Amino acid sequence: MSATPAQTLANQEFSPHWGSLLLLACKRGFDVVVSALLLFLLSPLFLILALAVTLTSRGPVFYSWRVVGKGGRPFTGYKFRSMCADADNLAVGTKSRTSTSG
């Protein structure tokens, strides 16, 4: 019986460098700097997307949803809304029509 991909990943050993606080701090610093730089460079595109959502439909620009994160800890994720504002409420009524069974 072969192991599932999740079991294989759980059994892998990580690099010993992940135990070094200095290397973890460097990685964290790199992540923050690159994220800030990309956020700054992409902000004109984000502004255009926000204007497009605002001008083409009513409702909030961002859609938020609950996501299960590391260790099962939930957090709120955000993205630009690409559907009608009440899509979550409309989806409840369509579940029976979009069933993939049978």
pLDDT digits (tens, 9 = 90+) for 62-92: 888 899 988 889 999 988 887 776 777 776 6
39: confidence class by pLDDT, cuts 50, 70, 90: very high
Q: What is the pTM of this model?
A: 0.57
Dump the DSSP string for 1-50. Answer: -PPPHHHHHHHSPPPGGGG-HHHHHHHHHHHHHHHHHHHHHHHHHHHHHH
58: confidence class by pLDDT, cuts 50, 70, 90: confident
